[in-house]
């Protein structure tokens, strides 16, 4: 069956992803996930965006914290801190088990795609979730404090450094996940979820062959910027530092001619005329499951109308 | 100052070790710990005997379980099991942090001695705790189910296989910890704690140069066998399987001419005549801190009387 490919980063995009998973069957939908912010920490392979999506789709995400797993405890990381260990990355006790299982599978020569399939299945997720690539791509944030590994910028430095650019180390030799390539061969359309354009979506779009593969497929994006602010994360701050207006039209311009359609929030309706691509306006703030489903339906209908 | 060296394995020996730590200052006492049951698991370097001693000396040992750390939780290992991971070795959330810190230090080129010093210090332990060697020695249990790595025998198979012998892989090329060698150069005496003779004490005694270093030093051992049973662990079962009587005299005979003195329980007083070395009889079951201190004092006085 002709499928829809949803491109997503972590927490923000995962909200729309959950909505999509509620209206499209496992045969109709594939999630392609950023792995540019993956990193090795304490000997573990951590894939923050895959994990955020996994927890969201399993409805096991921690709603109080806005990240991580529900019902989490922190004995490990607190004890590690007491022993003088590295505790800036707050690994929950349950979350740690997921990283351990992935790492063990990678050590046993599984691919990240295979490890992700195993783990999402264990969470009862029936939809296909795939890393953008099985090869190592690592986002480097260039900033006024020098070049920082993404998680050092994002978690350790809490996005305080002013960014000047991004680099996806390893991208030239990384292979687009074959499951994504295959999905795009018979694809109804692509939805770019409201994730950070620079550090969640661009790594995926920068994979060799990805933009070419999207050429004849309808692509829409949902703006992660609403009313000049990012719903989640440092997107608006980054845009300001890059001398780009923190606005929905600037997001549309960033994606450029890749897009066939753009979805922006009602709040920004007055900026619609600044966008050259076909744009629809709706409520995009997904503070309930109902809103996630409604926005998902809106996007799928938009894709079909293109 | 002339020191006492205490040789110990895990939980059983650690009870006497705690008593010794209460009556001898950090200048007077060094703990030499078995590392034959160390293993790599989930990418972590686990040193069960060092950890049992650390928790005991810090009075952070789990008294309900009889192993592991007090106030422990199990979110990690339960989640790992749900994800299909290896969960036969019950790693608590806090305990895991200790293994992680050690592993990180070893990855950063610290020795096991350095990692142990760092961790025991973090637990507020002032006495010196050292692994028998910084080199890899791995106890292999030969059994009716073939050759088993020690933790596979001990934890995974719960000591069910009948043993036929033991092997300490790597022992020929392992170097006695220099801190132990140095301690033995000016040593008041050695106390072999009531640990398993075959798998907790023999690895240490089998290190090249160890028996020679003990030749001119008073050595006493406390029987881990009382009334034909081991207070803790599989020592009695092993003795039966090896066709050795599970008795205090058989423990004394096992250590042979290494010993200058032997301590056995009142329960076994009638077997005293079977032992050729100088033997003292007392209550050796240490079910309170007071008993641990009393037995420690008894042993130190015995050493001084030799």
SS (H, E, C) A204-263: HHCCCCHHHHCCCCCEEEECCEECCEECCCCHHHHHHHCCCCCCHHHHHHHHHHHCCEEE
pLDDT at residue B1 is higher than 80: no
Mean pLDDT of B153-162: 95
Q: How sure is the predictor about A232, in pLDDT bands with cuts at 50, 70 and 90?
A: confident
Q: Give A100 to chain B, closest Cα distance, Å.
A: 7
- The residues with which A37 forms a beta bridge, in sequence order, are none
pTM: 0.94
The pLDDT of residue B230: 87
Chain A residues near residue B104 by CB distance under 8 angstroms: 42-43, 85-86
Do B76 and A103 count as a contact with CB atoms less than 8 A apart? no
**What is the average pLDDT value for chain B, to the nearest integer?**
97
pLDDT at residue A230 is higher than 90: no
Degrees (nearest 5) of the Cα angle A20, A26, A31? Answer: 55
Residue of A nearest to B122 (CA): A83
pLDDT at residue A258 is higher than 80: yes
> Which H or E run includes B41?
strand B39-41
Q: What is the DSSP letter of A162?
A: P
CB contact set of A247 (below 8 Å; sequence gap of 6+): A225, A228, A239, A268, A271, A274
Q: In what order do the strands lie in the sheet with A219-222?
A: A128-131, A29-33, A3-8, A187-192, A219-222, A261-265, A278-282
pLDDT at residue B231 is higher than 90: no
> In this complex, is the C-beta atom of B122 within 8 Å of any C-beta atom belonging to chain A?
yes
Mean pLDDT of B46-61: 97
Best of B50, B100, B110 to mutate (most A CBs within 10 Å, chain A):
B100
pLDDT at residue B232 is higher than 90: no
The pLDDT of residue A189: 98
Residue of A nearest to B124 (CA): A83
Best of A41, A51, A70, A76 to mutate (most B CBs within 10 Å, chain B):
A76
Q: Which of A108, A140, A117 is nearest to A39 (CA)?
A: A140
Do A104 and B97 count as a contact with CB atoms less than 8 A apart? no
Q: Domains of chain B: which residue ranges?
A: 3-141+170-305
Mean pLDDT of A241-254: 97
> Which H or E run includes A85?
none
Residue of B nearest to A92 (CA): B76
- Could you say which architecture CATH assigns to the domain B3-141+170-305? 3-Layer(aba) Sandwich (3.40)
Do B80 and A93 count as a contact with CB atoms less than 8 A apart? no
Mean pLDDT of A17-29: 98
- Percent of chain B scored above 70 by pLDDT? 100
Q: How sure is the predictor about A169, in pLDDT bands with cuts at 50, 70 and 90?
A: very high
pLDDT at residue A1 is higher than 80: no
User: A37 — alpha (psi -120 to 50), left (phi > 0) or beta?
Assistant: alpha
pLDDT at residue B147 is higher than 80: yes
Q: Give pLDDT tens digits for B84-112.
A: 999 999 999 999 999 999 999 999 999 99
Mean pLDDT of B18-29: 98
Q: CB–CB of A129/A50 below 8 Å?
A: yes
Do A96 and B118 count as a contact with CB atoms less than 8 A apart? no
**What is the average pLDDT value for chain A, to the nearest integer?**
97
Q: How sure is the predictor about B190, in pLDDT bands with cuts at 50, 70 and 90?
A: very high
- Percent of chain A scored above 70 by pLDDT? 100
- The residues with which B163 forms a beta bridge, in sequence order, are B143
Do A77 and B97 count as a contact with CB atoms less than 8 A apart? yes
Do B104 and A77 count as a contact with CB atoms less than 8 A apart? no
Query: How many residues are given for chain A?
Result: 306
Residue B89, classified by CB atoms within 10 Å of its CB into exposed (0-12), middle (13-18) or buried (19+), is middle
Do A101 and B85 count as a contact with CB atoms less than 8 A apart? yes
Of B78, B85, B100, the CB nearest to A42: B100
The pLDDT of residue B140: 98
Packing angle between helix A48-57 and helix A93-107, nearest 10 degrees?
Answer: 120
Q: Give pLDDT tens digits for A80-138.
A: 999 999 999 999 999 999 999 999 999 999 999 999 999 999 999 999 999 999 999 99
What are the C-alpha distances in Å from B210 to residues A164, B72, B147, B195, B251? 61, 37, 26, 18, 19
Do A101 and B107 count as a contact with CB atoms less than 8 A apart? no
- Least-confidence region, from A118-127, A226-235, A249-258: A226-235
Do B93 and A93 count as a contact with CB atoms less than 8 A apart? yes
Which 3-state string (H, E, C) describes A141-154?
Answer: EEECCEEEEHHHHH
Of B73, B85, B103, the CB nearest to A75: B73
The pLDDT of residue B178: 98
Q: Give pLDDT tens digits for A186-217.
A: 999 999 999 999 999 999 999 999 999 999 99
Rg (CA), chain A: 18
Q: Give A41 to chain B, closest Cα distance, Å.
A: 10
Superfamily of domain A3-60+129-141+170-305: CofD-like domains (3.40.50.10680)
Q: How sure is the predictor about A231, in pLDDT bands with cuts at 50, 70 and 90?
A: confident
Do A93 and B76 count as a contact with CB atoms less than 8 A apart? yes
Q: Give pLDDT tens digits for B116-136.
A: 999 999 999 999 999 999 999
């Amino acid at each position: 069956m002709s499928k829809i490919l949803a491109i997503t980063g972590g927490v923000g995009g995962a909200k729309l992803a959950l909505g999509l998973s509620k209206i499209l069957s496992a045969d109709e939908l594939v999630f392609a996930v950023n792995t540019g912010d993956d990193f090795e920490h304490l000997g573990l392979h951590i894939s923050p965006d895959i994990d955020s999506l996994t927890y969201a789709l399993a409805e096991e995400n921690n709603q109080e914290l806005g990240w991580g797993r529900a019902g989490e405890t922190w004995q490990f990381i607190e004890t590690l801190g007491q022993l003088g260990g590295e505790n800036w990355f707050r690994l929950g006790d349950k979350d740690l088990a997921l990283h351990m299982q992935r790492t063990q599978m990678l050590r046993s020569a599984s691919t990240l795609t295979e490890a992700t399939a195993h783990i999402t299945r264990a969470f009862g997720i029936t939809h296909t979730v795939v890393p953008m690539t099985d090869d190592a791509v690592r986002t480097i944030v260039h900033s006024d404090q020098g070049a920082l590994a993404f998680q050092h910028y994002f978690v350790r430095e809490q996005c305080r450094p002013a960014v000047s650019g991004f680099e996806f180390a390893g991208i030239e030799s990384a292979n687009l996940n074959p499951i994504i390539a295959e999905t795009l061969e018979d694809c109804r359309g692509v939805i770019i979820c409201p994730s950070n354009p620079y550090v969640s979506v661009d790594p995926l779009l920068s994979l060799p062959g990805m933009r070419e593969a999207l050429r004849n497929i309808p692509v829409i994006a949902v703006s992660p910027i609403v009313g000049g602010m990012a719903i989640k994360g440092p997107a608006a701050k980054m845009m300001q530092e890059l001398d780009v207006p923190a606005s929905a039209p600037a997001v549309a311009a960033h994606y450029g001619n890749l897009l066939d359609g753009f979805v922006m929030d009602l709040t920004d309706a007055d900026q619609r005329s600044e966008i050259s691509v076909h744009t629809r306006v709706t409520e995009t703030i997904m503070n309930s499951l109902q809103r996630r489903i409604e926005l998902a339906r809106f996007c799928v209908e938009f894709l079909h109308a293109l």
